[in-house]
Chain A
Amino acid sequence: MRDGAQVLSLRGATKRFGGLVAVDGIDFDVHEHEVLGLIGPNGSGKSTTLNLISGALAPTSGTITLRGAPISGQPAREIARRGVARTFQLVRLLPSMTVLENVTAGAVFGHRRRWGHAAEAQALAVLEKVGLAGAAQSRVGQLTYIDTKRVELARALAGDPEVLLLDEWLAGLNPTELEQGIDLIHKLRDEGRTVVLVEHVMDAIRSLCDACVVMSSGRKIAEGTPGEVLSDPEVVRAYLGDDNA
């Protein structure tokens, strides 16, 4: 599916924290309607890369463009308005609000902004999509873990983003929940969403991703379909060490 228009491109994206280079000159493109998996061992810079895209961190150098327009160095709010929505590695909901209000927040302030009944209708539609239609009036404190993740996903979807960033959205789920979670992301993929996901769950990567970028120690070490990169000796070495390659 690498025939869609380029939505997001990273060129030489670099992030230094003092002497540590967390992300070292990363290049990749995300095409329209594509699910791109960003994978690699712990500490390889995947989440930092996601933070550079969403504007949580500003890149030290390099450029990131969204539909040809540079977004690198812009504040997070500007990048969100241009159409990048995200979930967080540790779920972040708005604790004083109901599920519906949490998702309405995404519909009111996201990429496509609505207000009043239109925002609420959008929020309800997205809640329905993630399977939480019945919990609209619940407090977020009453939710199970996977449901908090669903709310966060719904909030990100409510603004109709151009690109959706999922930071280990499947992490911490039990086997049943994991199945539901993978189904849900499959549904997004079938809808033609453009998604970048950071993930450790290999089954999910194989079944969900059109393309993968593998990172190790801040650098890109492989790129291709999940089948290609997961059999790449360098990728195996990065994950398992030299003896297994």
Chain B
Amino acid sequence: MTTRDWKNLVLGAVLLGIAALLPLTGDAYAIALGVNIAMYGVLATSWALFSGPTHYISLATAAFFGVGTYVTASGIDVLPYWALPPLAGIIGGILAGIVGLATLRLSGVYFVIFTLGLAEMIRQIVTWRQNATGHKGSYVLTDLTENHIYWQLLGVAALVYLAGWAIGRSRLGFALRIIGDDEQVASHLGINTAVSKVALFIVPGAVAAIVGAMIAPRYIYIEPSTAFTPMLSFQVVIMAMLGGTGRLWGPIVGVIPFTLLWEVISVSFPNQTTLLLGLCFLLIVYLLPNGFVGLFQKIHARALSKEAYQ
């Protein structure tokens, strides 16, 4: 590891440590916002690990997230809570692996539509099963507080960042960037494109399921329409793009302002949220095609060229 790697590692640990102090303020509203930011931060960062280099836009976040909440909802009476998030991760990972094998041959828009349809399909299956068995939703009653959920999510965030950092320095990460640039070149270089893509698609799938399992106690009452809401998938994509997917720290830079903005929108315009979400998406794509990361790099490059002229 280089000095720069160590510096980034220490910086990341310090920032996470500071973030972990938030519950000490005792401000319930701030902590609730903190849970949202941590949740979207983990989801968007893990989403960008796969979709960033490959440019495959996955709308399957809600599918894996929903599966995770249902792992908690159906397992809470049988298993101790601590076993549920890891179990959700394993189930989410396996599901992502199967979906990946089936769909990663699809290109561009077909992949997007399939992932969107996947969340809807699982939601319909769960609804159908609930109708068939006669009970509509299920309760998740635990003594976990918002503080616990927040700290758990920060723990997952630390793992996701470490995983992202390791992947970025691995053959797999390099292979994914090559595949994202030109898949035909990748296969002619000797890269197993299918295996590489599926291997990395499993990461956001497992993480989203873990997050879903951890968030379930917050919802208390779990029903398919909230667990599998497609809005979640879109929000994750928008936040990751707002931040920029070219760097590991990119998505969180988009998550923080967007979560705050979203808070304002859903409080002030509760009936127009979808409309305003669409509007935000258009604005981001139009004004910041490469997100804050791209903007930062542009400013940086401009500063460098200015120096060169002086």
Give me the interface of A with B, judged by CB distance under 8 Å.
Answer: 54-56, 75-78, 80-81, 85-86, 88, 92-97, 105-106, 108-111, 113, 115, 155, 159
Contacts and interface: CB of A to CB of B under 8 A. Distances in A.
B188 A108 contact: no
Contact of B188 (A56, A93, A113): A56
A94 B185 contact: yes
Contact of A86 (B174, B181, B188): B188
Contact of A106 (B171, B182, B189, B192): B189
B178 interface: yes
Given A94-B178, A105-B178, A108-B171, A77 B191 contact: yes
A160 to B, nearest CB: 12
B169 to A, nearest CB: 9
Interface of B: 171, 174-175, 177-178, 180-182, 184-193
B171 A110 contact: no
* Max chain B C-beta neighbours (<10 A), residue from A94, A97, A110, A159: A94
Given A108-B174, A115-B171, A75 B187 contact: yes
A30 to B, nearest CB: 18
Contacts of A85: 188
Contacts of A88: 185
A92 B191 contact: no
Contact of A76 (B174, B181, B187): B187
Nearest to A165: B188
Contacts of A81: 190
Contact of B190 (A56, A95, A115, A159): A159
A110 B189 contact: yes
A113 B190 CA distance: 10
9 contacts: A78-B190, A80-B189, A94-B185, A95-B181, A96-B180, A105-B178, A106-B189, A109-B189, A109-B190
A58 B181 CA distance: 24
A55 B193 CA distance: 14
B184 A92 contact: yes
A109 B192 CA distance: 10
B192 A77 contact: yes
